[in-house]
Structure 1
Amino acid sequence: MKNIKNSLYLFLLLSLPVLGQQKITLEEIWGGAFRTQGMYSLEAMKNTNQYTVLNGGWGSGQIDLYDFATLEKVTTIISSKDFSELDGIDSYTFSPDEKKVLIAVNSEQIFRHSFVADYFIYDIASKKLVRLSDDKVQEPTFSADNSKIAYGYNNNLYVYDMATGATKQITTDGVKNAVINGITDWVYEEEFAFVRAYDWNAAGDKIAYIRFDESEVPEFSMDIYQGGLYPQQYSFKYPKAGENNSKVSLHIYDVKNNTTQKIAFTNIDAYYIPRIKWTNDEQTLSVQLINRHQNDLNLVFVNGNSGKVTSVLHETDKAYVDITDNLTFLNDNSFIWTSEKDGFNHIYHYDKSGKLIRQVTKGDWEVTAYYGFDKKTGNIFYQSVENGSINRDVYRIALTGKNKTRLTQKTGTNNATFSPNFEYFINSFSSAQEPTSYALLNAKNGKEVKEIANNKALKDRLANYNLPTKEFTTIKTDKGHELNAWIIKPANFDSSKKYPLFMYQYSGPGSQEVANKWNSYNDYWFLMLAQRGYIVACVDGRGTGFKGADFKKVTYKELGKYEVEDQIDAAKVLGRYDYVDASRIGIFGWSFGGFMSSNCILKGNDVFKMAIAVAPVTNWRLYDSVYTERYMQTPQENASGYDENSPISHVGKLEGSYLLIHGTADDNVHVQNTMLMVEALVQANKQFDWAIYPDKNHGIYGGATRLQLFTKMTNFIKEKL
């Protein structure tokens, strides 16, 4: 009996959490226990040296105004608590004179970026709130003269006059799944990353808009299971690789004359119109046009009165040209442009006719964000990876290309929001060791003026977990490729032991997972796995970004070939480490990463013991036209590139344990990808595991979904690795 008591005492003692050894749980991760505090919806004002932040909890909200120089709160512009019409505040935008605010409430998501909402116009001086429309509308935008608001509703454009309260419909041919005016179609929204396809000119008397004729685009449908005795079908236009895209055309509406002219692009390939933007000349519109292969881009100017088109800049690439939002017009209508034409993404200055004045930044590193131009000092502010491709710093440089100054000194990821006069910027900083902090910095010398927030409480709380550190390194494969990587080892790591290795990657063109920044939700999961005795590693192979165009574009026309080679080769290198059990290596990925993890366990069946693929593309023939053809051309032109790198073509090679996961309402990577993969595996008589999430989109979330999903994946890793 005495021995039993002593054994029970010892068991209880060992079961108690050791100080500093608290274990991460999935419930904590997905319950928000490690969420950082931030400055939500931080926006710099344009007319005063101030900024706004949306404060308040769920179901409430207020827009607070702060002074850049002192960081002191000036006033609360509006609080939802003061208006019964406002069920919180989802988002907001100011009028150009910053005397009125457009407030969105009751937002309903459509696709990744698009949504409809109830909108209200708030007059700051009179404190009056007016509803914009009785209906939920899209993308309302103030005119430059502050008198009107344009918006999209049911595939048409409307203009609301704030003085009279009258609304005018300016297009009439919009029809669901046929014609859209001023709002992008699905593929433009997803792959060119914008929704509002119209723009006011500087005088407020013209609206340029893109019209999408998607009547010949094939339709995709999804069954929706919740809410009725019979499933409902949701149908939308989705152009898969090689299929018809929307026929796009550019139009300019004259507000005063109530007339519309269609712009003709003669002798220019205008298959896609990925950007429109009025210049500082109120009657000159800039338009970016690109061919279907997306390797021939034209920047043209359109006269808003005559419709005359003038070619300004022409850029081609042997692979593809990326579309960005960095086009900035100066007072003389010369413009700033970013391009990879010298092999790295850099800043260029052109005159208004398109003649190159100079390349502003140069070097074997990339500009990763453009913040703005200070016309008083002639300085450009930007972000780059000059301090290492996994880091981000904020810089200032003269338009002449001289006097470059690094304004951030902490090594990690720095992002800036500049004051309107460019005297200060709010810098958000984080690294793999430091949670996100916010501070006011001087834009002249980068010196810190004042700390705003630091998330020290989160860091102190995490100290109780004795978490391992994320170690950054470079892996050189047997083929000689040097690849960025990070490794997480258990906190009680013993180099004399052998540990199973779990690899994570995404690997999509221009992406980056090996970055020196604070933890994502996935990172906490990886730390949890490390606490359970796994080594977790991530490798950015060829095709990923911020190491130059050649490194990124080597995968052109063969997505999944070199990227998969690099993951297999990296796993072999890691498997030779003394402390890695080469017989127990697994890999995980989501979306493009799921495509990769599927290929890895098939093509690398002698390396990987298990793989998890969430929402994977299994054949690029099934994915959308804009993304796929940018990197692969069409299936009609490059059939072998599509088929030889499709996991479906290699199912017979499956030897290890494979978990396949998808949501049935995924409008992006359709569940069709998984269904065809399943059928191929079945016909190859291969055993595998899979999970289907009804009515869940590409992110597979909502309620307890993420908790259940990550519990399933954790259990699979525990059982199979």
Structure 2
Amino acid sequence: MNKFTLFCLLTGSMTFAQRALTIEETVMGGRKYAPTTQTAQQWRKDSKSITYLSADFSTLFEKSAATSWKESTLTTKTELESALKTKFPNDEFSVRTFPASINWKTANTFETEISGKKNNYKVTYDIVTKQITTAVAFDASGTSAAFSSNNNTAWLKGNNIKITDASGKVIEVTNDENQGIVNGNDYVHRQEFGIDRGMWWNEAGTQLAYYRKDETMVGNYPIINWNEREAANKDVKYPMAGMTSENVTLVIYDVATGKKVTVQTGEPKEQYLTMVSWEPTGKYIFIGILNREQNHLKFNKYDAKTGAFVKTLFEEKASTWVEPQHALTFVPNNPNQFIYQTDINGFNQMYLYNTDGKLLKNLGYKDVIVKDFLGFDAKNTKINYIGTANNGLDRQLYQVDIKSGKTVQLTSISGTHNATVSSDGTMILDQYSNVSTPNEISVIDVKSKKATTLVKAENPFTGKVEMPKMELVTITSADGKTPLNGRIIYPANFDATKKYPVMIYVYGGSHAQLVNNRWMGGGGYFDYYMAQEGYVVFTLDNRGSDARGKKFCDVNHRQLGVNEMADQMKGVEFLKSKSFVDADKIGVFGWSFGGFMATSLMTNQNNVFKVGVAGGPVIDWKYYEVMYGERYMDTPQENPEGYAKASLLDKAKDLKGRLLIIHGAQDPVVVQQQSMNFVEACIKAGKQVDYFLYPNHEHNVGGRDRIHMYAKIADYFNTHLK
């Protein structure tokens, strides 16, 4: 047998061994085919070393410049569990995996949170002595802990706040029995406006600021639990657009005196309190006050001792909306200066202010949007952050000098970078992928630009799964001037002389981006599965989606769905220009805002779209919640024409193709009333519509049930579009 024959036999058998994705892998594939990586990697403080977890989450590894980046073991979950049992002999621990979230405090110690049977703990662990050096504890039934600098811990028990002080004494901060009064919870204003917590300690740990939400005036909305012997109703508070909303105040509790002060944020009561930030000295607290109309922000300074209003530092107004997303970041060692992020000038960027409200410096760079604030360098003179590039497709690492405002881009390869700088500022830990690179991790010397590769992942599908071809495309929006990012996945065994059906996967709403210059182009495993089923799978980020700036979204104000659909139809024009696209077999699938888009396209463009699947769809924005809905649409009273145009209830009569609506029966985000009303409208109009409920799921379908959902969607397209 000659070498050529042997080569053909070997390569032929390798090709034969490859197969298509299974329906199970549409859900499990992300773990099964994850590119080689270093999990939970970060710089070890005050060192030229990085740490990360083993693949089985049992061991904390290190790679160091001192050892030419060779891997070594720092500690294990077994050693951590032993240290916990030694420190807390009266509690029980079962450390199944090493904590993924650790915070290095020194070169040899890190902090992490651990749960025992009796208590939850925040501990400091020494990797040299293998001992717990410090710890604070609170009851195991507590949630949402907020830790102070002096070892006071605030935590929630139901809708009330308790504090476990440094001595272990438990203090009841609130004791509201009415479930409509919620204290210290992060679920305030439905977590819009960047809200991710409900309690804030001052720097000294002596005073706790917290949200007090009064939602007694908001109507109860029924959510049915079908798992009980007799189905049980669980009421939630769901303020709909144009209806009565919650009232929120901010209270400051003094640990030493036990006194509470309500910050005098004033009237009207239906306003939004955002960007809560303690001034480093603890004398003042700052709050962004956003009106219910969401078009006028006042950033106010208050006296922390009395709660009295001091002054308005600055204001922002817009004809569309103002959307604060970030609390202040004070410049270390300079309590009189802070960084404020806003998109008021078109792109979310950083601005340096003093505490009197004077703008000192614009730290923005070109049209780069700040996506992730990484912190200051060792001298506190520069800021590192991840920002956008390449029309929003890429993420790069940037560094801006606070004094001069000069910005330097520290990473350069086109793609999606997740990068951090060592504590001494001399090295970058850079992880990136792009459409042709599964995952690459390097350490880069800032001065010399020399890179040392730590991980260079191979294509995880090679020899296992024959993945369809994917490419990124650019399409001009319906306004004729805005470039839009798109992704096309070609059918398996693509033959340009054939014609294929199309599945368009759409979202289209704010704060979401489906197309990226990263591995798989941002596409999900179900997208690739459907391509393997013989579909052209196409996605377009229309105007209104994320990472392109404020003006990119503003065009949709008071008319959700109009420009988004117009852009999606430009995507359809692009598809129809391809000889391999069957223009008579175009379908659409989307969830949530994407469900709204899918149903909108099926009814407004009924001669184009033959099949649609709409998951958890918004059908009429008057049934959606106040905070999100009114930002983009104003109230139904203020914008009746816009609501009427966006509503799909009166458009059920226009449905021609096959539409499957899927909803989680316990959905508290897009309530089931939305899709039920559309079904009723279809009945009244004499239109057939298919409907499927997932009885024990909320806004999306998770776990193994998601496999069932994707199988249903695939079967629906295969039955009605192929």
RMSD (CA atoms): 3.1
2: CA distance between counterparts of 1:61 and 1:194? 33
Aligned residue number for residue 230 of structure 1 = 230
Aligned residue number for residue 666 of structure 2 = 665
2: CA distance between counterparts of 1:50 and 1:474? 41
1:31 aligns with 2:37: no
CA contact 1:103–1:121 (8 Å) conserved in 2: yes
Q: How does 1:146-225 map to 2 (within 5 A)?
A: 147-162=151-166, 164-173=167-176, 175-176=178-179, 178-185=180-187, 187-189=189-191, 191-225=192-226
Aligned residue number for residue 715 of structure 1 = 715
1:379 positional shift: 1.6
TM-score (normalised: structure 2): 0.87
CA 1:144–1:130 in 2, change beyond 3 Å: closer, same or farther? Answer: closer
CA 1:75–1:545 in 2, change beyond 3 Å: closer, same or farther? Answer: same
1:139 aligns with 2:147: no
Aligned residue number for residue 485 of structure 1 = 486
2: CA distance between counterparts of 1:253 and 1:493? 66
Q: How does 1:226-265 map to 2 (within 5 A)?
A: 226=227, 228-265=228-265
Which of 4, 7, 19 aligns to 1:22? It is 19
1:127 aligns with 2:129: no
CA 1:235–1:319 in 2, change beyond 3 Å: closer, same or farther? Answer: same
2: CA distance between counterparts of 1:718 and 1:707? 16
1:628 positional shift: 0.7
1: CA distance between counterparts of 2:66 and 2:554? 44
Q: Which amino acid aligns with 2:337?
A: S
1:372 aligns with 2:375: yes
CA contact 1:433–1:469 (8 Å) conserved in 2: no
2: CA distance between counterparts of 1:286 and 1:64? 41
CA contact 1:88–1:105 (8 Å) conserved in 2: no
1:187 positional shift: 4.2
Aligned residue number for residue 561 of structure 1 = 562
Aligned residue number for residue 319 of structure 1 = 320
The farther-off stretch of 511-520 and 33-42 is 33-42
CA contact 2:194–2:325 (8 Å) conserved in 1: no
Give SS of 1:103's match. strand
Please list the CA deviations of residues 236-269 of structure 1 after superposition, one character each: whole Å capped at 9, or x if unmatched. Answer: 2221212222211111111122211111135798
CA 1:273–1:86 in 2, change beyond 3 Å: closer, same or farther? Answer: farther
1:66 positional shift: 7.0
2: CA distance between counterparts of 1:699 and 1:106? 31
1:292 positional shift: 0.7
Aligned residue number for residue 594 of structure 1 = 595
Which of 424, 427, 431 aligns to 2:427? It is 424
1:624 aligns with 2:612: no
CA contact 1:441–1:449 (8 Å) conserved in 2: yes
Q: How does 1:79-94 map to 2 (within 5 A)?
A: 79=78, 81-82=81-82, 83=85, 84-86=92-94, 88=96
1:130 positional shift: 7.3
1:405 positional shift: 2.1
1:433 aligns with 2:416: no
The farther-off stretch of 240-249 and 376-385 is 376-385
Q: Which amino acid aligns with 2:181?
A: V
Give SS of 1:385's match. strand
Give SS of 2:417's match. strand
1:510 positional shift: 3.9
Aligned residue number for residue 355 of structure 2 = 352
CA contact 1:510–1:552 (8 Å) conserved in 2: no
Give SS of 1:658's match. strand
Q: Which amino acid aligns with 2:621?
A: W
Counting matched residue pairs gives: 687
1:413 positional shift: 0.7
User: Runs of 5+ in structure 2 lacking a partner?
Assistant: 1-11, 86-91
CA 1:92–1:461 in 2, change beyond 3 Å: closer, same or farther? Answer: closer
Aligned residue number for residue 298 of structure 2 = 298
Aligned residue number for residue 604 of structure 1 = 605
Q: Which amino acid aligns with 2:596?
A: F
2: CA distance between counterparts of 1:18 and 1:313? 64
1: CA distance between counterparts of 2:468 and 2:133? 54
TM-score (normalised: structure 1): 0.87
CA 1:637–1:447 in 2, change beyond 3 Å: closer, same or farther? Answer: farther
The farther-off stretch of 434-443 and 270-279 is 434-443
Q: Which amino acid aligns with 1:155?
A: N
Please list the CA deviations of residues 492-518 of structure 1 after superposition, one character each: whole Å capped at 9, or x if unmatched. Answer: 333232221211111002421121122
User: Runs of 5+ in structure 1 lacking a partner?
Assistant: 1-14, 108-116
CA 1:412–1:561 in 2, change beyond 3 Å: closer, same or farther? Answer: same
1:235 positional shift: 1.8
1: CA distance between counterparts of 2:256 and 2:206? 6
Aligned residue number for residue 700 of structure 1 = 701
1: CA distance between counterparts of 2:44 and 2:297? 33
CA contact 1:576–1:582 (8 Å) conserved in 2: no
CA contact 1:614–1:660 (8 Å) conserved in 2: yes
Give SS of 2:171's match. strand
Q: How does 1:324-343 map to 2 (within 5 A)?
A: 324-325=325-326, 327-330=328-331, 331-332=333-334, 333-343=336-346
2: CA distance between counterparts of 1:442 and 1:327? 31
1: CA distance between counterparts of 2:100 and 2:161? 21
